[in-house]
Amino acid sequence: MAVLLPVGTRKGLFLLRSNGGWEVEGPLLSGWSVYHAIVDPRDGTLYAATNNPFYGATVHRSSDLGKSWERAEEIGLPEDSGLKLNATWHIEPGKDSELWLGGDPGVLFRSDDGGLTWEVNRGLLEHPTRERWQPGAGGMCCHSIQLVNGTMYIAISAAGSFRSQDGGETWQPINKDVAADFHPETYPEVGQCVHKLLSHPAKPDRLWQQNHCGVYRSDDRGDNWDRLDGNGLPSGFGFGLALDPDDPDVAYVIPEESQEYHYTAEGRLGVYRTADGGASWELAANGLPERAWAAVLREGCTFDRGAVYFGTQSGSVWTAPQGAANWTEAVRDLPPILSVEAADV
């Protein structure tokens, strides 16, 4: 089975296929910024969250891996909300035929017809804390959606993380002990700037979070969080986050210098790996450039059972086997990379 990487860029979608090396196809969906793209493991449909400064925010889907495309019917917010959809950010397959879509301004949609039509999630749209949310630098994006044994998690920048145990009817903030250094209260109920939230595939109570203000782990589904930077990481700020499906104590982050500079820490492209649940971190950068001021965005890092992958805003995709002993540049000189995912095809 080959690996396919849908790589979303500011100038369309590229498909990277492993065949000993990496074969590059694209750009597809020219003219669209592809914030996120996935291959649905249920039926092989390729979905892309697509945005254009002139023509708005939408979703494209392809049932033949990019040879032909259909666009979703109008995706919008109800007039009574007083809100308009600014961007589509993240697509996540759910149970049965469900498909979930996160967007800006802090909204979630569900489709039951393969992404053709989308219904807004009222529980989140009308969340009683919404007036305390605020947009981060990338807008108020709902960028992380995780579905684990009937529990849903979402994360919004800058509203924080939320959990639903009733299929999305209601959402409970899960931000205890997660810092918001930019906020008048350092530990508010909501308003945290989560950059990426992942649940561990084999240990469903374990969540990892790369935040604007640190790296965190929870072992109780987000009820409590432990801050994990300061023990080997050059910075707690970053966006990319990856895991090892076979080892819940392993995580990877790509620290950035600061919330003001947004380039890789210490002037190098460094991936940091923990193998002890975040108690310590080690630089795993063999093969990566030692002098680089790169940036990896929140959707720009992913993993599968065999490898970790990330793409930079300078257009390179890097891969390493799980463990990150050696990195290889799969492709370079793509447009600025917004997202990387991995699929078996």
Interface residue with another protein among 14, 32, 162, 272 (CB under 8 A) is 32
Interface residue with another protein among 44, 56, 139, 245 (CB under 8 A) is 56
Query: How far, CA to CA in Å, does 116 sit from each of 65, 202, 205?
Result: 17, 32, 33
Exposure b/e, 70-91, CB count within 10 A at least 16 = b:
ebbeebebeeeeebebbbbbbb
Residue 39 CB, shortest distance to another protein, in Å, is: 22
β-partners of residue 329 are 318
User: Is residue 178 within 8 Å of 211, Cβ to Cβ?
Assistant: yes
- Told to check if 77 binds another protein by CB under 8 A, we report yes
- Told to check if 67 binds another protein by CB under 8 A, we report no
- Told to check if 184 binds another protein by CB under 8 A, we report no
Residue 70 CB, shortest distance to another protein, in Å, is: 10
Q: Smaller CB distance to another protein: residue 116 or 283?
A: 116
- Told to check if 188 binds another protein by CB under 8 A, we report no
Q: Smaller CB distance to another protein: residue 107 or 317?
A: 107
Contact segment (CB under 8 A) with another protein among 55-63, 208-216, 227-235, 312-320 equals 55-63
Interface residue with another protein among 1, 67, 79, 95 (CB under 8 A) is 79
- Told to check if 42 binds another protein by CB under 8 A, we report no
**Residues 126-165 vs another protein: string with x where CB under 8 A?**
----------------------------------------
C-alpha 271/C-alpha 255 separation (Å) is 7
3-state SS assignment for residue 123: helix
- AA identity, residue 267: G
- Told to check if 71 binds another protein by CB under 8 A, we report yes
- Told to check if 76 binds another protein by CB under 8 A, we report yes
215 half-sphere exposure, CB direction, 13 A CA radius: 29
DSSP class per residue in 26-92: EEESTT-EEEEEEE-TTT--EEEEEEETTTEEEEEEESSTTSS-EE-S-----GGGT----EEEEEE
Q: Pairing relation of β-strands 99-104 and 172-173?
A: unpaired
How many C-beta atoms lie closer than 10 Å to residue 113's C-beta?
A: 11
Residue 96 CB, shortest distance to another protein, in Å, is: 27
- Told to check if 246 binds another protein by CB under 8 A, we report no
Positions touching another protein (CB under 8 A) are 10, 30-32, 52-56, 58, 71, 73-74, 76-77, 79, 84-85
